[in-house]
């Protein structure tokens, strides 16, 4: 006959406490630094603008939920246009990062291992420099009197008729400048997931396809590219999501007449002091960005389960 031992907190903690604590730390981090702030922003998005500090109130015409912020998202041209500009710039930057990053990532997997670490270090080297400093450097490069602008101007004047010659190419304060700096900034976020995905591929599959008569480009389309789709999706999300909500780059090099949604949110918070509207825009942006991430997570889970499950 077994005798049950009395419950002991010390014995339970010794057996399961450390493992539960380690597992619970990420959840506590997400709860404290993501879910709680999101709930606060969500509550402010259904409030009303008020002359208080913070300028959010509840009561009056809408004692519980004020839907005006979300209604304006679909009726005000400013927010519709800002969302479209953000999606266009972020999508274009993602495609350019993919076009530049894929050959670089593929090249990293084909070089000798002695060079691989050096080249990877060069990819992440920009992260060792201040983000603002890099943006200001591009502002200097795109100025009308900069050597970079003059070099492009001279090349343009050589290729076009004399009537189309220009003294300088206007690059600053345009969507071109925003996309250019975003591509430079987020290119490593595309290269690293692609490299991680391509590095795991079996090179003997390419060799077998070439032995069967396939040309190199056909081998890439039929063998390499389909197997690197998870890396493409992961890199695309890592570039598209922060680029769509970017604030610093559009503020410094973008055009104020065609703002991206991040700048609109900042202006609503700081200049207009309309915190409920800014919170509604932020919630809509979050929902728009979380959707693709959830679809990718579902696709990845199904891929890991295998076909037919």
Q: Look at residue 304 and tell me whether its pLDDT is greater than 90.
A: no
Q: Who contacts 96 (Cβ-Cβ below 8 Å, separation ≥6)?
A: 179, 183
Note the Cα 38 to chain centre separation in Å: 19
| pLDDT of the residue at 27 | 85
| pLDDT of the residue at 1 | 47
Can you read off the two tokens belonging to residue 58?
Answer: 């509840």
Q: Are 286 and 38 within 8 A, CB to CB?
A: yes
| pLDDT of the residue at 163 | 79
Q: Look at residue 18 and tell me whether its pLDDT is greater than 70.
A: no
| pLDDT of the residue at 149 | 86
Q: What percent of the chain lies above the pLDDT cut of 90?
A: 27
- CATH code of the domain made up of 69-305: 1.10.3720.10
The model's pLDDT over 166-221, given as tens digits with 9 standing for 90+, comes to 888 888 888 999 999 999 999 999 999 999 988 888 777 877 877 777 787 788 88
| pLDDT of the residue at 87 | 92
Mean pLDDT for the chain overall: 84
Residue indicated by tokens 């990053």: 101
d(CA 171, CA 14): 63
Note the Cα 108 to chain centre separation in Å: 23
| pLDDT of the residue at 10 | 58
Look at 240 and 17; give whichever has higher pLDDT.
240
Domain residue ranges in the chain: 69-305
When pLDDT is cut at 50, 70 and 90, the band that residue 12 belongs to is low
Burial class for 257, CB neighbours closer than 10 Å (0-12, 13-18, 19+): exposed
| pLDDT of the residue at 9 | 56
Q: Look at residue 273 and tell me whether its pLDDT is greater than 60.
A: yes
d(CA 66, CA 235): 38
| pLDDT of the residue at 157 | 86
Q: Are 169 and 153 within 8 A, CB to CB?
A: yes
Helix runs in the chain, H state only: 9-12, 18-30, 36-45, 68-75, 77-110, 113-124, 131-141, 147-159, 175-199, 203-211, 216-219, 225-227, 229-244, 248-253, 261-270, 275-305
d(CA 174, CA 257): 9
Q: Look at residue 244 and tell me whether its pLDDT is greater than 50.
A: yes
pTM above 0.75, yes or no: yes
Q: What percent of the chain lies above the pLDDT cut of 70?
A: 91
The model's pLDDT over 83-111, given as tens digits with 9 standing for 90+, comes to 999 999 999 999 999 999 999 999 898 88
When pLDDT is cut at 50, 70 and 90, the band that residue 230 belongs to is confident
| pLDDT of the residue at 166 | 84
Sign of the four-CA dihedral 63, 64, 69, 71: negative
Q: What is the DSSP letter of 164?
A: G
User: What is the rounded average pLDDT of the residues 250-254?
Assistant: 91
| pLDDT of the residue at 188 | 93
When pLDDT is cut at 50, 70 and 90, the band that residue 80 belongs to is very high
User: What is the rounded average pLDDT of the residues 56-74?
Assistant: 80
User: What is the rounded average pLDDT of the residues 1-11?
Assistant: 54
Q: Which of 45-49, 140-144, 238-242, 295-299 has the lowest mean pLDDT?
A: 295-299
Q: Look at residue 303 and tell me whether its pLDDT is greater than 90.
A: no
Max alpha carbon distance in the chain (Å)? 104
When pLDDT is cut at 50, 70 and 90, the band that residue 62 belongs to is low
């Amino acid at each position: 006959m077994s005798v049950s031992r009395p419950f002991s907190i010390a014995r339970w903690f010794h057996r399961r406490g450390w493992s539960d604590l380690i597992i619970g730390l990420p959840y506590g981090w997400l709860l404290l630094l993501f879910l709680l702030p999101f709930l606060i922003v969500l509550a402010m998005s259904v409030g009303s603008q008020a002359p208080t500090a913070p300028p959010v109130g509840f009561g009056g015409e809408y004692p519980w939920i004020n839907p005006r912020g979300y209604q304006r998202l679909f009726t005000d041209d400013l927010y519709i246009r800002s969302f479209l500009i953000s999606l266009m710039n972020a999508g274009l930057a993602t495609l350019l990062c993919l076009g530049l990053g894929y050959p670089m990532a593929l090249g990293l997997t084909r070089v000798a291992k002695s060079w691989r670490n050096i080249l990877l270090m060069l990819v992440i080297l920009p992260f060792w420099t201040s983000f603002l400093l890099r943006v200001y450097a591009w502002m200097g490069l795109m100025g009308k009197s900069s050597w970079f602008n003059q070099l492009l101007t001279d090349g343009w004047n050589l290729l076009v008729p004399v009537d189309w010659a220009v003294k300088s190419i206007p690059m600053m304060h345009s969507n071109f400048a925003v996309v250019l700096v975003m591509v430079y900034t987020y290119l490593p976020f595309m290269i690293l997931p692609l490299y991680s995905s391509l590095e795991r591929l079996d090179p003997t599959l390419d060799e077998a396809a070439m032995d069967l008569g396939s040309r190199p480009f056909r081998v890439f389309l039929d063998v390499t590219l389909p197997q690197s789709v998870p890396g493409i999706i992961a890199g695309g999300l890592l570039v598209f999501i922060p680029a769509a909500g970017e604030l610093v780059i559009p503020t410094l090099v973008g055009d104020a007449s065609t703002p991206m949604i991040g700048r609109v949110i900042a202006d609503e918070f700081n200049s207009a002091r309309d915190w409920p509207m800014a919170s509604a825009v932020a919630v809509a942006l979050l929902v728009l960005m979380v959707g693709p991430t959830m679809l990718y997570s579902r696709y990845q889970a199904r891929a890991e389960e295998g076909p037919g499950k």
